[in-house]
Amino acid sequence: MENPEGSSKTHFGFKEVDWSDKSRRVADVFRSVAPKYDLMNDLMSFGLHRLWKRFTISQSGVRTGHKVLDIAGGTGDLTKEFAKKVGSAGSVVLADINESMLQQGRERLTDLGIVGNVKYVQADAEHLPFPDNYFDCITIAFGLRNVTDKTAAMRSMYRVLKPGGKLLILEFSKPVLPLLQTFYDKYSFHVIPKLGAWVCGDADSYQYLVESIRMHPDQATLKSMLQDCEFEDVEFHNLTGGVVALHKGFKY
């Protein structure tokens, strides 16, 4: 929910908090989960997050020499593959607002030998510190729902994207089948927080993550928001029955 005129509140999961306090609370969540973030992703999604990310990369059109921005890049799954695609003539920026997640990404990719064409920038998606019309492709995977002002973030992405460039938003969304929605709700609220407690010793952070998914705009609403931010040819692909959706938009 965006900040309406005169309102000082926003959602942090199902809770209502001060607009100015959400980013601190989200930072605390990711500071807590960063060391076991990859393991929890595999456990929670049964490994499906790797297929969702692979599909995102296949839709990017990224090639040799491109400049790519991976927002909320975390531990670097997308950055790793983009670095291979752009080669030494291109560059990838892994940006994350959270210093703990950024450090995890830097250490992981360095250990994999991915150096030279990747830069690491601690950045707020709402105020991206990059020049206008700079990137050929921008991705944000499982990060937009944690942004306080999503419209401001999308406008910031639009500004730094080159004319002809593409934005890809991979995010949890609304299942399109009623039976799947029922199973998904039971799994999300009864299993994921317990996994978080078992693996990370932190049920509360994963309770927030589950709730943040439910508060995120559905597929059609996010498409409309992108169009309102001047993106064109906006479309989305439902993955795993709409549990996740990939939105695409262009700047012309």
Percent of the chain with pLDDT over 70: 92
Q: How far apart are CA 79 and CA 234, in angstroms?
A: 23
Tens-digit pLDDT profile for residues 83-114? 999 999 999 999 999 998 899 999 999 999 99
Quote the tokens at residue 24: 């601190």
The predicted structure's pLDDT at residue 12: 67
Tens-digit pLDDT profile for residues 188-228? 888 988 888 888 888 888 898 888 989 899 999 999 999 99
**Over residues 68-91, mean pLDDT:** 96
- pTM, two decimal places: 0.88
Please give the domain boundaries of the chain with CATH numbers for all domains.
Answer: 23-250 (3.40.50.150)
Query: 76: closest CA among 48, 45, 112, 47?
Result: 112
Tens-digit pLDDT profile for residues 122-181? 999 999 999 999 999 999 999 999 998 999 999 999 999 999 999 999 999 999 988 999
The predicted structure's pLDDT at residue 3: 54
The predicted structure's pLDDT at residue 5: 45
Query: Is the pLDDT at 234 greater than 90, yes or no?
Result: yes
**DSSP letter for each residue of 36-86:** GHHHHHHHHHTTHHHHHHHHHHHTT---TT-EEEEET-TT-HHHHHHHHHH
Q: How far apart are CA 24 and CA 144, in angstroms?
A: 16
What is the overall mean pLDDT for the chain?
90
The predicted structure's pLDDT at residue 1: 42
Percent of the chain with pLDDT over 90: 65
The predicted structure's pLDDT at residue 2: 47
Q: How far apart are CA 112 and CA 28, in angstroms?
A: 27
Tens-digit pLDDT profile for residues 18-35? 767 777 777 676 677 777
Cβ contact 75:37 at 8 Å = yes
The predicted structure's pLDDT at residue 227: 98
Cβ contact 38:75 at 8 Å = yes
State residue 171 phi and psi, 5-degree precision. -155, 150
